[in-house]
Structure 1
Amino acid sequence: MDRPGKMVGVGQPVPIFPDLLVESIVDSCPAGARTIVLVDGADAARPVEFATRTAEHARSNGRPAAVVDLHDYVRPASIRFEYSRTDELSYRTLWFDYDAVAREVIAPMRPGGRGHFLPRLWNESTDRSARARSVDAAPNQIVLIAGPMLLGRGLDVDVSVQLRLSEGALRRRTDPADQWTCAPLVEYYDSLDPSAGRTDFVVRWDHPDRPALERR
């Protein structure tokens, strides 16, 4: 999520049709194996919506696919709001339970894992357990985990996608009540070390109908 003009370490973006982007992501998933796809993006980028579209494409081609919304893995309100409901540091570091995602979604999909994953852990609106049942994973199951600030968390994923918004687009597309999240989101993405890991698909997403892939 870059400020205008700040594109250090990347080449010129290559325009790509949205349908081709979805197809390319699905095609990059190893055939015949359980696959974890990370779709990283601020809520303003609607990563869950994009992940759902990708899952639908996979299913239309005979590949089982499911989406896990990171907002179904938030921590309880007593933790999220300990320092106020708009505490920026809490949003970056405490809001989402990335360890639970690794434990309940990713680890079960790996060789030797239990073979079924938990699609929802916590109900954000009621602040109670989601009481969800585990879902059996097919041998070639795709699970897409979608939400903000997923990169750089050490999650063991097979394919990673970043829906990258410029700061201007982020602020324009974020609801007024959530504008306080923009500064910590910009700080978080600016803090990522590009040498610490490779993102498979870095997508400029200011205009979702006209995305562009950054050459890595």
Structure 2
Amino acid sequence: MTLPREPAAHCEPVRAQAAPAGGTGVLQALAARLAALHPDRRLFTAVDGVDGSGKTTFADALAAGIRAAAIPRPVVRVSLDDFHHRRDLRYRRGRGSAAGFRHDSYNLDQFRAYVLSPLRPGGCGHYRPAGHNLDTDAVLSPPWQPAAANAVVLVDGLFLHRDELAADWDFSIFLDVPFPVSAARMALRDGTPADPEHPDMHRYVGGQRLYFGDSDPAARATVVVENTDPEDPRVIPAAAASCFRTSARRYPGGTVVGRCSVAENTLWKHCSLLQRCYTCCDLYAALQYCAFRSCSGPVIRGGCKPERMQPLPKICCAATAQHLPGPPAQREELL
């Protein structure tokens, strides 16, 4: 198929439209920032977050803000939900598999071929907005659509900060919403259980926890937005994100602690160097912190070796606070 030549850059006229619902301060600030960023080329932007975090609504409102900015800019809106794998591949590890949800949900090769590659410099400048119909399980080949040379390519979806995609974004947003809130939203939207720990939610919540552990999306995002209240989104530090508390963390002394299923809700304590080494005291605090953030056990990378750790019974947070190093304020922050 012969495609039309690369579209020219242009600015869309300002349209009379209602302001995005809720959170207009954050949305307007982000829209203005994106409208002004690299105006001479296409800008690839991601809106990431867990199921039920409000990604599509937020991205649609952001797109409206960019189009209505002081210097308006065209927007190409794409959702990764339109690039699922077919069912036989999505569920090849089983319908309840968290790893299957994490790794097999999306056809990234098709997404790259339909959207990312053709809109990059040297590409044809046209894209296909969808590659799969989730209801019929049909693979799609819709007509190619032109994208202005200065368009903001705004993509929403799950797992957008994964290793395979993280380098593709000029700007990225992670919407932080705790699982109890996002699961309650999904219950209203999809009829799924409102309890994120319900067995029927294991595939989805478990898959997203795997993503937190292997990709640390809040740390990779350009901006983290706390979106528990969609009417009042707030920009927050990555370290304040709920997902960050179950991702790999770096503590003073250089010790990195992450999540792993090496034990069932077990607190691990170094058996020999803890009392003598400041780094190990940091390690102990980090391990206790990790254990009480719904983690099934920490794994140590570097420094102390797991085989030199001893399991201890789980203790309450108040008791843990008495053993954490540092002043009380620091203890409260850790917990």
The answer to whether TM tops 0.5 is yes
Residues 58-207 of structure 1 correspond to what in structure 2 (within 5 A)? Answer: 58-61=66-69, 62-155=72-165, 156-175=168-187, 176-177=191-192, 179-180=201-202, 181-193=204-216, 198-207=220-229
1:11 match: none
Please list the CA deviations of residues 20-60 of structure 1 after superposition, one character each: whole Å capped at 9, or x if unmatched. Answer: 22223232332232111100012301211211111122222
1:132-157 Cα distance to aligned partner (Å, 9 max, x none): 21211101111111111111233211
| Mean CA deviation greater in 201-210 or 69-78 | 201-210
User: For residue 31 of structure 1, what is the aligned residue in structure 2?
Assistant: 39
Aligned residue identity for 2:23? P
* In 2: Cα distance, 1:198 partner to 1:191 partner: 12
Which consecutive segments of 4 or more residues in structure 1 shift more than 4 A? Answer: none
Structure 2: any 5+ residue segments left out of the alignment? 1-21, 193-199, 239-335
Equivalent position amino acid for 1:187 in 2: L
Residues 188-210 of structure 1 show CA distances to partners (whole Å, capped at 9, x for unaligned) of 22432479x74111111111212
Higher CA-based Rg: 2
**RMSD of aligned C-alpha atoms?**
2.2
CA deviations 1:144-200 (Å, max 9, x no partner) are: 1111111123321111000011232233222343733122212322432479x7411
Measure, in 2, the Cα distance between the counterparts of 1:198 and 1:185.
Answer: 15
Q: Which 5+ residue runs of structure 1 have no aligned equivalent?
A: 1-16
* Partner secondary structure for residue 174 of structure 2: strand
* Aligned amino acid, residue 50 of structure 1: F
Deviation digits for residues 52-109 of structure 1, max 9, x if unmatched?
1111222223311121111100001110122333321110001112232223211222
Quote how far apart the aligned CAs of 1:124 are. Answer: 0.8
Any conservation in 1 of the 2:48–2:156 contact (CA below 8 Å)? yes
Q: Percent identity?
A: 26
Q: Could you say which structure has the greater relative contact order, defined with CA pairs below 8 angstroms and 6 or more residues apart? A: 1
Structure 1 CA distance for aligned equivalents of residues 125 and 212 of structure 2:
33
Paired AA for residue 18 in structure 1: G
